[in-house]
Each structure stands twice: as structure tokens, then as C-alpha cells.
Amino acid sequence: MNSPSVTGLHAPPTLDVPSATGVDAAIVLAGPGARAMAFMIDWMLRTALSVFYMLLASLVLLGNLSFAVGPDESALWFLAGLMPAAAIYFLYHPIVEPMMSGRTPGKRMAGLRVLTLEGLVPTTSALVIRNVFRLVDSMPVGYVVGLLFVLFGRRHLRLGDIAAGTVLAVERAPFLEKLARDRGDAARHATWHEVRSRAASLRRRADSKVDDALAVVDEYRRAARLINVARAARSTDDRNTTEYLEATYADLHDAIHRPARRGWQVLLALFRDRIPAALSDMRIHLLAVTLLFITAAVTGAWLIFTYPDLIAMFASPNLIATVERGELWTEGMLNVAPSAVHSVDILTNNIVVSFFAFTLGLFFAIGTLYIIGLNGLSLGALFAFVGQHGLAGGLFDFVVAHGCVELSCICISGAAGAYIGEALVRPGARTRSEAFRLAAAQGLRVMGAVTVLLFVCGFIEGYVSPDPEVPRWARVTIGVGFWLFMISFLRGYVFGRSRGGPPINA
């Protein structure tokens, strides 16, 4: 079976997907204009939803529509007002696309849909990968990177599509049905419209029976035969009918080849088998990134011990002044804001840093190594600076409960980014885009585990680390215990994987 190919130079590019019938399913790819229209509709919608939520939250929580927050309401407003509004805006695409099978309201209105290179609805993981790489597509501002890829790429794909193995396709059948109705010619498409409706019901698993599935398969074969005849005849007399038949055939191709939903089985296999296997593949990268982080930390400490004035490169003037007074900036944190606010703020920051370390690996790992090195330098410099003022023990007490796992997660994220970088530098027998796509999929599995661990780190750093009543022995116990749990979690033992079983990368 041949691999999918793209045809069409001046006309819209078409992805020809091989099928079991021997007749390729033709999928028309969206151009920059259609992409921009869908994006703008979605942008206006998510912005409107975020603003509406903030107005509603301000009215309910603050009793006004001016966002005037009093000192007693700041924590509540942050947790129940600002954070949900930000989540609506930034998580709009990652949540809506899987829920709507590769669509969003903007894509639906523009007649577009995300599909795989095989013409199928992407898995949830592929759609998540597609949206994670928005971090890079949106750089430096205004989606410049993504726009350049869309404008000059053969398939009009942004980096997120390349990483996920997806395309943005035009949904032709609904448009052609509407066109036929406007022309008063809908009767000619009535039979195939019924076939599409049956296939859509089969995709939704809505009251579908075995007979419905067999009927869809028969119609799929019949459509293939009719398309083959039409293409062989090369007749232009009934081009609209042929085009509608090809669009219906592409829809049937998706319905028939869509894999079964396995829900919790997929999730269990992810944490029990796939994440450990991915980490096994990245073990050399993890070792290299960890050594880089340690080397950078030692270098940062040496720099500050040797040239104390360089601390201004790593710390703010307020932090420096606080330490020089003999105090840590972590003291009294719970008096400034509640633990819940600290947890959410810290969690958000850690996840953003980790995902940047991962996604920037596509710059041949240079971006990843920069973030890991910078974090190591900063940590070493801060410990050296507080050590010079006799506060190293206090900083250790603050860091140890959450830091063992948090720093490990940063290194693991860096290893995932370095894994992508190596795939781009040394793709082997694969094409560079194929190697990138496979490495991104492996990396995202690891990042799923990292995100779960960082949630717990955020809780510890918000509730345990700044609490002066927690003794050192308890902090060390929590930090080491959670680190050992992390090892078991990442090896799959928490989810039932046998320690005496086959190799995790088998």
C-alpha cells in the first residue's frame, strides 16, 4: 500500500489516502486563508467566553463589574476569577478539539476539520500534541512561526500538525450538500446523504447495529467502484456529483477505519507500559541532561563564590536586599497569600517551564539545553548567595520537600526535548518529519507523567514548604518518599507492572 501523497499545485492541495478498496480517498487540505478564518473565529469566541466568565465572577464574587478587588478578596478572585478565565482561554483548543472529534466551533463554521495523514480522526494524544506545540507556533508573537510554516509549507501545516501527524482538511460533503440544495438539485444526492448520516451515527456509536455497520461497508465499496469508473471515464459532465461522491467516500473511509474506543484500558497501558518504555528510550538523554543541570548548578555556585556581584544576573534587587538583611524571601509567604494561591501559581509556572523545555527541543535541542542550563545556573547561584549569608540551611528546608521531584521533572522534560532534538539531527532511515512525529509522541507520554507529578509538587510547595511549623525531618521524609514514589510511578509499578516481567522497551 502506498503512503499518502499530496497533489495539486495551483488548485488546493489534496491528500490522497490509500484504502483497502484500492481507490484513494481524496482529502482537500485547507489553505492559509481558511486556517486564518477558523482561528479568528475561535480566538474571538474564547476571548468572549473568558471575558464573560470574568464579568460573571466579578459580579458574583466581588459584587461589581469593575474588577475592584479588596485585600480580603484577592485570593478568592485569583482562584475563582482569574485562573478559570485563563484556563478557558488557553485550554480552549486542547479540550474542545478532542470533544468535537478534531473540530472547534471556528473550524466547523469555516468547514474545516483536523484529520490524520491516513484520513482518520486523530486520537486524543495526537490532538494534545498538536496543541502543545502552539507554544512554539505562537513565538515570538502573533503566531509568526506557525504562520511561516503554513504559508511556505507544501501542505500548509504548522509545527503542531507536523509533530502530531495531522492535517487541516476541508469538509466538502456538507458544503456540497448545501450547494445542491441552493441549486434545487438535492434529490440527486439524497441516497449518499443517507449513507453519510448512517456513517455519522456509526461514528458516534448512537443506536448502531451490526446491520448498519455492514451497510456502511457495502456503500464504501460501492462508492469506490463508482469513483473508479468516473475517474477512468474522465468525464466533466457531472463533476459536482463525482466531487460529492468523493467527499462522501472520504467520510466513509474515516467511519470504517476508526479504531475502537478503549477508554481506561488505553490510560492504564499508558502509565503501566508506554511511559516506562518511552523513558527507557530516553535514558541516555536523561543522563546527559541531568549532568548538564548539575554542571550548570556547580558553575553557578562557583561564579557567585568567586564573583559575588554577579548575583545581580540571577536575582532581583528585592531578593538580594532581603537576603542581605539576613532573611529568606520564602519567610512569611503564607502571610502574603494563602497556600492555595501559592500552589496554583507555582504549579502553573512549573508546568510552563517544563513544557517549554520539551517543545524547544525541536530547535535541534538547543532551546532545551538553554533552559536546563539556565535553571541549573540560577539554582547554584542562589544557593551560593544565601550560603554566603548563612541561610543555606533555611533554603534547603524550603526546597527539600518538593525540590527532589520538581528538579527531576525539569530534567525529565529536558530529556524529552533532547530526544526530539536528536530525532531531528539523526532521523536514521525515517524522514525528518516522521522522526520528529514519533519523538514528539514519545515525549508527550512522558510529559503526561511529569504533569501529574508537578500537580503534587505544587500542593507540597504551597502547603508544606513555606510552613515554619513543619520540622526538617518531616520535610526530608516527604521529599525522599515522594521521589521514591516518582521512580515507582515512572517505572509503571504503581499500575501493576511486574518487576520480573519483560523489558519495558520490548
> What does the pLDDT read at residue 499?
64
Instruction: Say what the pTM is.
Output: 0.87
> What does the pLDDT read at residue 505?
43
> What does the pLDDT read at residue 337?
61
Are 275 and 486 spatial neighbours (Cβ–Cβ below 8 Å)?
no
- The Cα–Cα gap between 438 and 317 comes to 44
Last residue of a domain, one of 108, 140, 170: 170
Higher pLDDT, 493 or 336: 493
Residue range(s) defining the domain that contains residue 230: 172-257
User: What phi and psi, each to the nearest 5 degrees, are found at residue 16?
Assistant: -95, 110
**Is the per-residue pLDDT at 506 higher than 50?**
no
Q: Do residues 128 and 110 share a domain?
A: yes
Q: Do residues 189 and 141 share a domain?
A: no
Q: Do residues 85 and 208 share a domain?
A: no
Residue 18 included in any domain = no
DSSP string, 305-320: HH-GGGGGGTS-HHHH
Q: Do residues 236 and 359 share a domain?
A: no
Q: Do residues 459 and 324 share a domain?
A: yes
Residue 334 included in any domain = yes
Of the candidate ranges 329-338, 390-399, 435-444, the one whose mean pLDDT is the lowest: 329-338
Reduced to 3 states (helix: H, G, I; strand: E, B; else coil), residue 55 is helix
- The Cα–Cα gap between 195 and 11 comes to 28
Reduced to 3 states (helix: H, G, I; strand: E, B; else coil), residue 480 is helix
Query: What tens digit of pLDDT does each residue of 257-270 get?
Result: 777 767 788 888 89
Higher pLDDT, 439 or 236: 439
- The Cα–Cα gap between 202 and 37 comes to 30
Q: Do residues 32 and 136 share a domain?
A: yes
Q: Do residues 316 and 410 share a domain?
A: yes
Of the candidate ranges 6-15, 44-53, 107-116, 134-143, the one whose mean pLDDT is the lowest: 6-15
Q: Do residues 333 and 189 share a domain?
A: no
**Is the per-residue pLDDT at 228 higher than 60?**
yes
> What does the pLDDT read at residue 185?
66
> What does the pLDDT read at residue 249?
84
Residue 503 included in any domain = no
Quote the percentage of the chain above a pLDDT of 90: 52
Pairing of strands 14-17, 5-7: antiparallel
Q: Do residues 231 and 98 share a domain?
A: no
- pLDDT-based confidence at residue 4 (cuts at 50, 70, 90): low
Last residue of a domain, one of 233, 257, 281: 257
Residue 20 included in any domain = no
Q: Do residues 316 and 185 share a domain?
A: no
- The Cα–Cα gap between 122 and 119 comes to 9
Cell triple for residue 62?
466581588
Bridge partners of residue 315, in order along the sequence = none
Nearest CA to 240 out of 179, 170, 320 is that of: 179
> What does the pLDDT read at residue 182?
67
Q: Do residues 86 and 57 share a domain?
A: yes
Residue 110 included in any domain = yes
Last residue of a domain, one of 170, 190, 221: 170
**Is the per-residue pLDDT at 503 higher than 50?**
no
- pLDDT-based confidence at residue 445 (cuts at 50, 70, 90): very high
